[in-house]
Amino acid sequence: MKKYLTIPTAVIAVGLLAAGCSDPTAGGGAEPGAEPGTGSADWPAQDTDLTGTTLTIWAAQNSNTAPDAVVEGFEELTGAEVEVVTIPDPYEQGVQTKVATGDKPDLAFWQPTGSMLTALNAPTNLQPLDGAPWVDSYSGDLADMTGILDDTRYAALITSPAVEGVYYNKEVFSEHGITETPTDWDSFLETARTLKSDGETPFFEMGGDRWATQWWVQVQLADAAADGLWDRVNTGEEKFTDPTILGAIETYQGLIEEGLFNEDIKTATFEDQADALLSGDAAMAVQVNSFFGQLQAKADTEELNEKIGFFPISPTGNVGTFIPDQSNALVAFKTGDADREAAARQLLAYWLGDGYADFVADRDTISLRDDVPTPDSVPQALLDVHASLGDSVGSMQALAVANPDLYLYLADMIQGTTTPDEVAQQTQDQFAQLARAQGIEGF
């Protein structure tokens, strides 16, 4: 009897082994580089009838209500049904895992940076959005700022990309006679030291929740980034362990050791950081737009306009570092169903077309189109963030080919278990590992 069972089991195993080694997303002959039958970029009119079509949008816990107004308008206009599915946090990991196993939505919120588009294997999995009808109506340089990988547009930017910079408490500043915001790194630190000598906590960092630690290093790299730092890192010519990046890490640690940060830096959370800035317990925090979202959850526009300001910072001036995130953009997937793919493009065209005014009003957010006004109720700090985009430079996430866990290694350093040298080395090792997995030369 034993014999009976071992033979079929072995046959099944060997058969599946032989068939097994292929990526489920590679089906349908969609080789990267080759132009597949689906995903060609013709753009249906925004009001084309879609009765009977159901589209799925994947969204994260902090972006799942964003499509509400657009979905309602689109369903009414076209008869399509749009379903917004929330993928639990950590969102990016969840989406990558699902896509790896062949599960794809029609549209998804996604960080429109090169490294994250690569992580989704954009040439194979995503519809190219070249020739999209909305591209020409973006204000300023927004059209070419992000969402593009190897000269192909894959992501549609819907909201103002996040910028790393300094959020500060205006009341604390004026209490200590500081009337002008710092104009470069040195005056920034001078301001902090003045506040410290007056008994304030100049900076607040959330070492417990970890992910914001990297902003401190990245804003120091703004000048180098403008000078092609990440291009050199991408080819292996320059490393995280070289003086530029390592120096920024060392400076960060030096400031912590100097006592310019909150005492509970090791355990403080994102929420603590927002509370501290709003109450004036701390004067400044280097953060991104989602931090302001947290402040908005705690206070109304009037209070925020009164208390919270924003200025970008870089070594020699006030240059911001932009870092588009998942809530800023959408990507459209190649699902293999040409009609649904076209419908997905149609929804994007409507979102950034006739539906955009409703979207902006519903979300109370900054308009990316000159012909659609930004609502008056948008807080001043957010307008300042948006204004800084014009001359901002790309962050590591925006310009490097891979996105190593720099924040995690920095958090280790804050806990006191690693040195800046080790942080740089660990980041470089992981960067090289990710670059090698992508098949990039030089790694």
Return the biggest CA–CA distance within the chain.
90
Residue of 135, 405, 419, 443 that binds another protein (CB under 8 A):
405
Q: How far apart are CA 220 and CA 283, in angstroms?
A: 19
Residue of 25, 169, 181, 346 that binds another protein (CB under 8 A):
25
Q: How far apart are CA 73 and CA 336, in angstroms?
A: 26
CB of 273 to another protein, least distance (A): 15
Tell me which residues in 109-138 interact with another protein (CB under 8 A): 118-121, 124
CB of 38 to another protein, least distance (A): 15
Residue of 79, 174, 433, 442 that binds another protein (CB under 8 A):
433
User: Which lies closer to another protein via its Cβ, residue 331 or residue 347?
Assistant: 331
Using rule CB under 8 A, residue 4 touches another protein: yes
Tell me which residues in 206-265 interact with another protein (CB under 8 A): 208, 210, 264
Tell me which residues in 356-395 interact with another protein (CB under 8 A): none
Tell me which residues in 77-106 interact with another protein (CB under 8 A): 90, 92-93, 96-97, 99-100
**Cα 286 off chain centre by:** 16
> What is each CA distance from 71 to 95, 160, 325, in whole angstroms?
21, 20, 21
Residue of 12, 41, 45, 85 that binds another protein (CB under 8 A):
12
Residue of 7, 85, 338, 437 that binds another protein (CB under 8 A):
437
> What is each CA distance from 140 to 137, 373, 383, in whole angstroms?
9, 15, 15
Which range touches another protein (CB under 8 A), out of 1-9, 154-162, 321-329, 380-388?
A: 1-9
Amino acid at 140: G
CB of 178 to another protein, least distance (A): 31
User: Which lies closer to another protein via its Cβ, residue 17 or residue 51?
Assistant: 17
Residue 207: which of 283, 281, 285 has the closest Cα? 285
How many residues are listed for the chain in this entry?
Answer: 443
Residue of 7, 9, 258, 338 that binds another protein (CB under 8 A):
9
Which range touches another protein (CB under 8 A), out of 12-20, 58-66, 69-77, 165-173?
A: 12-20
Which stretches of the chain bind another protein, using CB under 8 A? 1, 4-5, 9, 12-13, 16-17, 20-23, 25-26, 30-32, 90, 92-93, 96-97, 99-100, 118-121, 124, 208, 210, 264, 266-267, 405, 408, 411-412, 415-418, 429, 433-434, 437-439
